[in-house]
Amino acid sequence: MENGTASSTRPNHILTVDVEDYFHVEAFAGTVSRQSWDDYPPRVVNNCNRLLDTFDRYNVKATFFMLGWVADRFPAIVREIHARGHELACHSFWHRKVDSLTPAQFRSDTRDACDAIEQAASVRVLGYRAPTWSITRRSLWAFDILAEEGFEYDSSIYPIHHDLYGIPGANRFPYVQPCQNGNRLLEFPPATVRIAGMNFPAAGGGYLRIFPLAYTHWVFRQFEKAGRPLVLYLHPWEIDPEQPRIAGPLKSRFRHYTNLHRTQERLERLLQRYSFVPFRSHIAGDGCDSTDSGHAVITSTQEVHG
């Protein structure tokens, strides 16, 4: 147990943070160009420090998926995250959707991000999460590149229907992803729950903010009854209701700004009630006993159902 509040018979869930600033998000990509990022007042460092202080209060550790752009410009926060005992992982450099890139562009972007993180903290990066969960049917080739680049695990496949991402029918629980080049990666999907034969997202990002907290607790109970770890995720900007507003499309503003004032409280209620570890601890411990072997995410003719 990390926080001393959960029963020893309950699983350690996996706590993750996608480290990006409010102007990096895909929701505003059509409004905010990457060339203009330096024009926006950064808030990611202060928000990361708030999260670090929160995690310290509950004695929990997390995996921080770092945007390379952030690591390059603010290396001190990368070192601080590492110094406080958290795991550093990769969230790309430019926050471009993987399925919008060529394999060569993806490899270059990933290398640049890892270099920025590793230069800042002198630590090897072993985990990857795609911006906007964008390893989809169109970009399954990314697994080959990640394995070739030395990654050991990925957390990019959202097994849901969504207008921006997702692979419906992909496995809902951790599994071993074979690559076409003969390598393998551990894949850790974010939490979903099945209702009426469909997968619904839960326990992360906008779903944590917008859905009632009772729904999130219900999802945790479903995972704990099955003895499986749940992958929780959030972003530093989600605990920052005072962030500058961006005049994006209505749907984007709804997804981004709804209930920002509630995220901190909801996060702390989860930290009080459940036990959390970073990916590295789960993989090194007995958590991999619940990992399914030999399950591909999807091929052109086959889906895997959790």
> What pLDDT does 169 receive?
80
Residue 166: pLDDT band (50, 70, 90) is low
What does the pLDDT look like over 258-280, one tens digit per residue? 999 999 999 999 999 999 999 99
Q: Considering the chain, what percentage of its residues have pLDDT values greater than 70? A: 89
pLDDT at 58 over 80: yes
Q: What is the pLDDT of residue 161?
A: 64
Question: In order of start, what are the domains of the chain with their CATH numbers?
Answer: 13-290 (3.20.20.370)
pTM of the model: 0.90
Per-residue pLDDT for 294 more than 60? Answer: no
Considering only residues 130 and 291, tell me which one the structure prediction assigns the higher pLDDT: 130
Mean pLDDT of the chain: 89
> What does the pLDDT read at residue 24?
97
pLDDT score, position 251: 86
Q: Does 299 have pLDDT greater than 50?
A: no
**What's the pLDDT tens digit per position in 17-31?**
999 999 999 889 889
Q: Evaluate if residue 291 carries a pLDDT over 70.
A: no
Task: Look at residue 287 and tell me whether its pLDDT is greater than 60.
Answer: no
> Lowest-confidence range among 6-10, 176-180, 209-213, 224-228?
6-10
d(CA 93, CA 147): 18
The pLDDT of 196-210, averaged and rounded, is: 89
Percent over 90 (pLDDT), the chain: 73
Question: Is the pLDDT score of 305 beyond 80?
Answer: no
Q: What is the pLDDT of residue 302?
A: 33
pLDDT tens column, 65-122: 999 999 999 999 999 999 999 999 999 999 999 999 999 999 999 999 999 999 999 9
